[in-house]
Amino acid sequence: MAEIAAQPFAFAFRPETTALIVIDMQRDFAEPGGFGASLGNDVSRVTAIVPTVKRLIEGFRAAGLPVIHTMECHKPDLSDLPPAKRDRGNPSIRIGDVGPMGRVLIAGEPGTAILDELAPLPGE
């Protein structure tokens, strides 16, 4: 067992069964003008956690533990996007629409890119 100093008590874990999963830290969710902002989200709350996420990633890398990044994105033809997901809510732009960072949440568009400061290394 390994242990991380934490509050209110130390966190014990087994390194061989531990990985860090970094979920959807993408421009479309974290930057003004992106999809998150179009939903009415305060994207400054996302950017506020970036330094902490960066420290976690660095710590896992230094310990030789796996880091896994996820990205929400869809095919350009939207064949993998259920209509109910595209049509929910009342955003100013919808998934697949052209926004300030290209087509919103479409694979390969600039908005789907993971934030530079959290970008995966080869193999992550």
Q: pLDDT tens across 61-111, in order?
A: 999 999 999 999 999 999 999 999 998 877 788 999 999 999 999 999 999
What is the token pair recorded at 108? 């390969």
What is the rounded end-to-end Cα distance, in angstroms, of the chain?
Answer: 24
What confidence tier does 38 reach under pLDDT thresholds 50, 70, 90? confident
What length does the chain have?
124
Among 89, 86, 84, which residue's Cα sits nearest to residue 97? 86
Q: In DSSP terms, which residues pair with 67 in a beta bridge? A: 20
Q: How far apart are CA 68 and CA 21, in angstroms?
A: 5
Superfamily for the 18-118 domain: Isochorismatase-like (3.40.50.850)
Q: Where are the domains of the chain?
A: 18-118
Q: pTM to 2 decimals?
A: 0.86
